[in-house]
Amino acid sequence: MKHLNFSEILQVILAVNKRNKKTIGWVKQEAIVNSIFQFLEIPGKEDEEFYVSTSDCSKYFNGRKNIPQKLKNYLAQQDFSQIVEKFAQRMMQYTEISTISVAKKLYDVAGKQTTNSNHENPSFLEQEKRLASYYSQEKYHHYIATTILFSLIHVPNILNRQQEEPPLLDSLHFNQDLEEAIQQGRYYQSYERDIIIHPDMKKKEYKVLVKRQFISHYPNPVHPHKDRFILNTFYSTAALRSNNHFISLKINQIDYSDRVQVLDEDLDIEKHRFPYKRSLLVENLPASELYHIDLQTKYFASFPIRFGSFRLHSPAKRFKVTVRIRTNEKRKLCLTLKNFGSFNKQFSNIDRIEPNATMAYFENIDWTFPSSGYAYIVKPWNEFWQDFLPQSQKKSAEE
């Protein structure tokens, strides 16, 4: 039999519960991973409960992240039988899990695969005996708990396959117009965009914080200047431009916020669809091989619906977007996030999580091309629509 890794176990749990048409419980990546660690009573920081971020949950699912060594050591120091018993008892109270179906599927998947790499390892032999005993006695909660705990302590989640990385340009399938930009280093090694939306129920508006973090051979690869950072944004109205507020800028860990020039320019309305330009400019930057940029801005948008979008203007080797809603009224809002555009078709490396009420996420780890991007919508669920209408609109709607 094969000793399954954490990714394989998670995939089985999710597939079984979805096949059984479960609508609550272990039907999302984030819920499964965090429930497992809570069942194992992993200690969190200070008074906080241990919590795995959405992106890390997705990486565990896709076999792209190993269990932290500190966590492995903690579990290994516990009494294995006791922690399995606690885990099983917690699962018994969690009736939404398709326990029997999950256990049988894990047994089936492990039995169809064989590995000889650990056939003489006493820990692995003992584990096989434990699993056989629990399964024969139909102790399915204990079977699942034992499988999970053993995988976390003993089985690597990332397969140890060394693959030769193809040459940079050979790995890409793109328009040849991009070749010069890639060769000159005018691309993002990594581009992360984190949108945090704070609904203000009193003011009936969304406060939207936009965090951008990217790494490039230029302060901004859109502009081939090493000695300055410049970011241009264009708006359809002067009011929208005024509503955008600069917060902070760090370059290579140095705070340049006080040196940022905010420059506004009105272009010809007849020639430009978005004639209201705003530029953020920092001059006389020291030369560097790489530039780590951390930029934050914010703006405000009226209730009840918020639509946002973004397009890349330079290729990105890694592109990650997270949209999250921060509010005590999270149950009243729904979130949709879609990515669009051109990606490297040679590999399937887009990692995403199904959006829930307050979080959506996707990450492409192998090239996203210019004009690709995302769009999101935040809006109230139908039964809470009235709570998000401005007072004047609420009266009209009631009439």
> How far apart are alpha carbons 231 and 53 in whole angstroms?
30
> In this model, does residue 166 exceed pLDDT 50?
no
pLDDT digits 0-9 by tens, 269-287: 988 889 999 999 999 999 9
- The Cα 16–Cα 26 span in angstroms is 10
**Cβ-based neighbours of 13, under 8 Å, separated by 6 or more:** 26, 32, 97, 102
DSSP 364: E
What is the mean pLDDT of the segment spanning 284-304? Answer: 95
**CA dist., res. 221 & res. 285, Å (int):** 15
Burial of 10: CB neighbours in 10 Å, binned 0-12, 13-18, 19+: buried
Residue 350: the pLDDT is 54
pLDDT for the residue 233: 94
- % of the chain beyond a pLDDT of 70: 83
Of 46-50, 154-158, 168-172, the range with the lowest mean pLDDT is 168-172
Nearest to 353, CA basis, from 313, 324, 393: 324
Q: From CA 256, how far away is CA 198, in angstroms rounded?
A: 26
Q: Are 213 and 296 in contact (CB under 8 A)?
A: no
CA-CA-CA-CA dihedral for 199, 200, 203, 207, to nearest 10: -60
Please work out, in degrees rounded to the nearest 5, the angle formed at the alpha carbon of residue 236 by the alpha carbons of 270 and 295. 130
- Give the global pTM: 0.57
Assess contact for 284 and 262: CB atoms under 8 A: no
Q: Which of 37-46, 334-343, 390-399 has the highest mean pLDDT?
A: 334-343
d(CA 310, CA 271): 22
**What is the per-residue pLDDT for 189?**
94
- Looking at this protein, which amino acid is placed at residue 118? N
Quick one: 37 exposed, middle or buried, by C-beta within 10 A (0-12, 13-18, 19+)? middle
Cis peptide before 304 (omega within 30 of 0): yes
Query: Taking a C-beta distance cutoff of 8 angstroms, is the pair 187, 181 a contact?
Result: yes
